Amino acid sequence: MTKIIGLTGGIGSGKTTIATIFQSYGIPVYIADDEAKKNMQSSEIIEAIKKVFGNSIFENDVLSREKLAEIVFSNSEKLEQLNKIVHPAVKKHFDEWILKHKDNPYVIYEAAILFESGRYKDCDVIISVTAPVESRIQRVIERDKTTRALVLKRINSQWTDDQRILKSDFVIENTSIEAVKTEILKILKILKIKQNVS
């Protein structure tokens, strides 16, 4: 039975980079946020978003992620409404995806809001990625061409590192690629031992 490793961390913590390193060791990786973005382009989800958020977040019938982000990261109720629209579609897609990887002992399910969405309950092992807040802010500003204020709103809409760590089996501190690789190899060694014992 394929085990699901949940990989999470706050925005800008570098979890996608870490997921890529796991992938380089032969572990299939599912990036939930990427799939959510793809699903948000489906006509069914677009219609549901229009119903809840109205037409003002669309420009020439194209969803404006910036406008949507501004709304949901300022209003936890609206964020919850968006998640209720998008998450069932991502879950369905993941359930189909994992069947294609059923011969692998492990797969990685990478999601920023693993705990907030309740998906952590489906994971056999959880790894949290941490990084200094300032590094995270700078990373997101550069990556998303956004403002510090908006990044802070997004950080504040997520669980804190302390909350995530309490519910995680492993923690990777993302300070350097070398340190991260060492941690990943340690985790894989532990998981292999556990697998041989069970």
Superfamily for the 3-34+89-197 domain: P-loop containing nucleotide triphosphate hydrolases (3.40.50.300)
The domain limits of the chain are: 3-34+89-197
Q: What's the pLDDT score for residue 65?
A: 85
Q: What's the pLDDT score for residue 196?
A: 63
CB atoms within 10 A of CB 42: 11
The pTM (predicted TM-score) of the whole model is 0.90
Nearest CA among 24, 58, 26 for reference residue 41: 58
Place of tokens 């992620």: 65
Q: What is the mean pLDDT of residues 75-89?
A: 91
Q: What's the pLDDT score for residue 131?
A: 96
Place of tokens 């669980």: 159
Segment 39-50, tens digit of pLDDT: 888 889 999 999
Do residues 129 and 180 make contact, with C-beta atoms less than 8 angstroms apart?
A: no
Distance CA 54, CA 32 (A): 25
* Residue 198 confidence (pLDDT) above 60: no
Q: Please list, residue by residue across 104-136, b when 16 or more beta carbons sit within 10 angstroms of its beta carbon and e when fewer do.
A: eebbbbbbbbbbbbebbeebebbbbbbbeeeeb
Q: What is the mean pLDDT of residues 135-145?
A: 94
- Sign of the C-alpha dihedral computed for residues 99, 104, 110 and 114 taken in this order: positive
Segment 162-192, tens digit of pLDDT: 999 999 999 999 999 999 999 999 999 999 8
